[in-house]
Amino acid sequence: MVSDLTLLLHPALPLLLAAVAVRFVPRVVGHVLMVAAPLAALAAVFALDLGTSVEVGWFDWQLEVLRVDGLARPFGIIFAIAGVIAGTYGIRTMGRNERASALAYAGAALGVVFAGDLITFFVFWEVKAVASTLLVLARRTPLSGRAGMRYLYMHVLGGKLLLAGIVWHYTATGSMAFTGFEVSTGGVLILLACLISAAVPPLHAWLPDAYPEATVAGTVFLSAYTTKAAVYALARGFAGWEVLVYLGIAMALYGVVYAVLENDIRRLLGYHIISQVGYMVAGVGIGTQLAINGATAHAFAHILYKGLLLMGAGAVIYATGRSKMSALGGIANRMRTVLVLYLIGAASISSVPFFSGFVAKELVVEGAYVDERIWLVILLQIASVGTFLHTGLKLPYGAWFGHDGLGPRTNDEGHRIHVGAVPRTMIVAMGLSAALNFGIGIAPNLLYDLLPYPVDYSAYSVGKVLEKTQILVFTALAFFLLLDQLHAKAMVTVDTDWLYRRLPRTVATLARRGRTDRDPVESPAAPDPAPRGRLVAARTAVLARVASRDPDGPPPVAATWTLGSVLLGAAVVILLVSLVWP
Amino acid sequence: MNTRNLWLTTAAALAVFVALDLVVRYARFPGYGALIGFGGCVVIVVVSKWIGKVLLERSEGYYEHDVAPDVQEDLRGE
């Protein structure tokens, strides 16, 4: 049984407790919990010394449920900070259930990062997948319901691959420790699970599918944890696997290509998450100390500025109810604060000197350069051009300006888009994030001191700043020269989710070819004799009830309330029995 | 700004940055950043638009159940 009191300092604990509590306490106390719980987690991460390790006996295994080392700590710190920021942002918009899911999700992500063995890792990984699905469903629209279920299916697939890999790895090696893996069947299965979660093409389609359908605050939470926890797992288990370099650069460019075509503002940012995570995956693939430092630093900064960008996009959606650039524009004058804060995020992600991207992203590029991979450096720089092009130029232009320019100055008179007020808590959260981005940009050592390995890199030299400025200036010039081609079109793009969204129906249509769709000629069938007749009648009644559910209600899988409670109860009983097992 | 002025600005910026590169001597060759920035941007836009046109773009009703209505919905919670 648990005897080590250090376990009470586990950073996941305050968040998981708050996730349960927020369901029952009054709404005002919930406001406080949404900010206080991540703050407590942050304090806990700082209170734990490097090298802390707590083991708990469970059946035949010694589980290392808490392990604090150089790699886990920076991820833990930024996950807690992201919780504070996203929690503040969501104070006015999040309902009880959504808050519980968000806190459980953040807690599970911290659990993943501080897990020292594969069983703990797997349990938190799965809690994270379920909680994040609930966060997508929390928008409670038919679109978010379907996107959320598709999201769940992909993550269930990833979870099963992870479990299979862990079992295979354990059978082969007899070790449950979560350290670097050898090239083996078990290792490859675990790698596949991590690749799904890191949204590596062609396993990425869940991300741009589901993230834009979540609530405005839900997306900010989602963008922080799932992909970055996967990057952590890759850095822990697969550092130096050459294949990750190629996957990483393919990701970085893939996201850029799709972002050119995208119309929905949060989906565009979603494709840029893929592009940015590509840098981290490539850094992990290079595997040198410098590159791992770069991947970690980039994950840290990325969570800050991507959160800021999604908060800006969310504020636009909150104020106007619209998310497509083709339906926006002409609102800059009425959302000046949000626009300025968004642009700070855009400057950071585009690695403008003196913002966080410049000191973090360039560390990955430096890692590639020192490792003598010149083609990788050039391709990463081109991907970075695409980042500035879309998040720094195309999105703000399309969302805030467009054909209508700055728009009316004060009120909505005579303009096609009504702009509501943005709550002060949202502005505060964005301001906090912007301040951190700027702070890291001008004092890079704040970030470098947290990294897993000692950093011997100076971010600022005249040459580096000049080269980056030159790239950015010429990207902007090319953007304005190409502006006519870059107006967002009201289109959707097909991605690999076509394989499970459209292909099945296409196949079914082919199989039905030659048959008629006419209704069969009515002829009342004779009722079956009892008892079979009763069964048929009962089945018809159940099917009619399922079919007649409210179209805006939850999808049928979530509606099987009784079955779910029984399964959950059984799981809790089994867990309790296993804990008191001699 | 019209297109002609934009091209003039681009040429002027190129001259300035090449001169700076010659002074600082950090770039692989003078104007490297301009090539990556301008060339990269053009390549990304042209290639992506082409792929989009021949392969990826569909009308908004392609996934028929997933057409978002263009109404200004009220997202404010309780």
Across A542-568, b (16+ Cβ under 10 Å) vs e yields: eeeeeeeeeeeeeeeebeeeeeeeeee
- Using CB atoms, pick whichever of B25, B33, B77 lies closest to residue A93: B77
In chain B, domain spans:
3-57
| pLDDT number for residue A311 | 96
Asked if A490 has any chain B CB less than 8 Å from its own CB, the reply is yes
The H-or-E segment that residue A468 falls in is helix A462-481
The H-or-E segment that residue A570 falls in is helix A561-580
Rounded to whole angstroms, the Cα distance separating A186 from A376 reads: 29
The contacts of residue B34 (CB under 8 Å, 6+ apart) are A470, A471, A474, B13, B14, B17, B18
User: CB A385 to CB B1 under 8 A?
Assistant: no
Cβ count within 10 A of residue A373: 19
Task: Provide the token pair at A12.
Answer: 């996941």
Secondary structure (H, E, C), A30-84: HHHHHHHHHHHHHHHHHHCCCCCEEEEEECCEEEEEEECCCCHHHHHHHHHHHHH
| pLDDT number for residue A126 | 96
What Rg, from alpha-carbon coordinates, does chain A have? 25
User: CB A324 to CB B32 under 8 A?
Assistant: no
Instruction: Select from A192, A197, A178 the least CA-distant residue to A125.
Output: A197
- Using CB atoms, pick whichever of B17, B56, B66 lies closest to residue A146: B66
| pLDDT number for residue A524 | 57
Chain A residues near residue B49 by CB distance under 8 angstroms: 260-261, 485
The H-or-E segment that residue A191 falls in is helix A185-197
Query: Closest Cα of chain B to A56: distance in Å?
Result: 42
User: CB B24 to CB A466 under 8 A?
Assistant: yes
N-to-C CA span, chain B: 46
| pLDDT number for residue A554 | 59
User: CB B41 to CB A482 under 8 A?
Assistant: yes
A 523-582 → B contacts, CB under 8 A = none
Asked if A333 has any chain B CB less than 8 Å from its own CB, the reply is no
Task: Provide the token pair at A23.
Answer: 């369901």
| pLDDT number for residue A1 | 42
User: CB A471 to CB B37 under 8 A?
Assistant: yes
Could you give phi then psi for residue A58, rounded to 5 degrees? -145, 115
N-to-C CA span, chain A: 9
User: CB B52 to CB A261 under 8 A?
Assistant: yes
DSSP string, chain B: --HHHHHHHHHHHHHHHHHHHHHH--SSSTTHHHIIIIIHHHHHHHHHHHHIIIIIEEETTSSGGGPPP-S-------
| pLDDT number for residue A2 | 47
Could you give phi then psi for residue A513, rounded to 5 degrees? -55, 135
Asked if A322 has any chain B CB less than 8 Å from its own CB, the reply is yes
Distance of CA A290 to the CA centre of its chain: 25
Strand partners, A177: A117
pLDDT at B7 over 60: yes
Chain A residues near residue B21 by CB distance under 8 angstroms: 466, 470
User: CB A493 to CB B52 under 8 A?
Assistant: yes
Instruction: Select from A161, A137, A162 the least CA-distant residue to A148.
Output: A137
The amino acid at residue A44 is: A
- Using CB atoms, pick whichever of B32, B56, B75 lies closest to residue A216: B75
Could you give phi then psi for residue A455, rounded to 5 degrees? -100, 125
User: CB B77 to CB A492 under 8 A?
Assistant: no
Tell me if residue A414 falls in helix, strand or coil.
coil
pLDDT at B74 over 80: no
User: CB A466 to CB B63 under 8 A?
Assistant: no
Residue of A nearest to B4 (CA): A481
Query: Closest Cα of chain A to B6: distance in Å?
Result: 7
- Using CB atoms, pick whichever of A261, A322, A469 lies closest to residue B48: A261
Residues A363, A297: contact at Cβ < 8 Å? yes
Chain A residues near residue B40 by CB distance under 8 angstroms: 381-382, 385-386, 471, 475
Residue of B nearest to A493 (CA): B57
User: CB B6 to CB A477 under 8 A?
Assistant: yes
Rounded to whole angstroms, the Cα distance separating A39 from A151 reads: 29
Residue of B nearest to A93 (CA): B77
Q: A520-565: per-residue pLDDT in tens? A: 566 556 666 667 777 888 888 877 776 776 666 655 555 567 788 8
Identify the residue whose tokens are 């050459």.
A242
Residue of B nearest to A213 (CA): B68
Instruction: Select from A433, A79, A102, A426 the least CA-distant residue to A229.
Output: A79
- Cα-Cα-Cα-Cα dihedral of A197, A198, A203, A204, to 10°? 110
Query: Closest Cα of chain B to A76: distance in Å?
Result: 30
pLDDT at B77 over 70: no
- Using CB atoms, pick whichever of B20, B41, B72 lies closest to residue A478: B41
Q: Helices (DSSP H) in A289-373: which residue ranges? A: 289-320, 336-349, 356-370
Instruction: Report how many Cβ contacts below 8 Å link chain A to chain B.
Output: 170
Q: What was the ipTM of the complex prediction? A: 0.86
The contacts of residue A163 (CB under 8 Å, 6+ apart) are A122
Chain B residues near residue A490 by CB distance under 8 angstroms: 60
Show the low-confidence residues of chain A (pLDDT under 50). Answer: 1-2
Rounded to whole angstroms, the Cα distance separating A473 from B21 reads: 14
Could you give phi then psi for residue A475, rounded to 5 degrees? -65, -45
User: CB B59 to CB A491 under 8 A?
Assistant: yes
A 403-422 → B contacts, CB under 8 A = 417-418, 420
Query: Closest Cα of chain B to A317: distance in Å?
Result: 8
Task: Provide the token pair at A403.
Answer: 């054909």
Residue of B nearest to A91 (CA): B77
| pLDDT number for residue B78 | 44
User: CB B58 to CB A474 under 8 A?
Assistant: no
Task: Provide the token pair at A30.
Answer: 């919930």
User: CB B24 to CB A489 under 8 A?
Assistant: no
What is the β-pairing status of strands B57-59 and A491-493? antiparallel
| pLDDT number for residue A412 | 66
Residues A181, A238: contact at Cβ < 8 Å? yes
The contacts of residue A523 (CB under 8 Å, 6+ apart) are none
- Using CB atoms, pick whichever of B26, B47, B77 lies closest to residue A92: B77
Residues A307, A85: contact at Cβ < 8 Å? yes
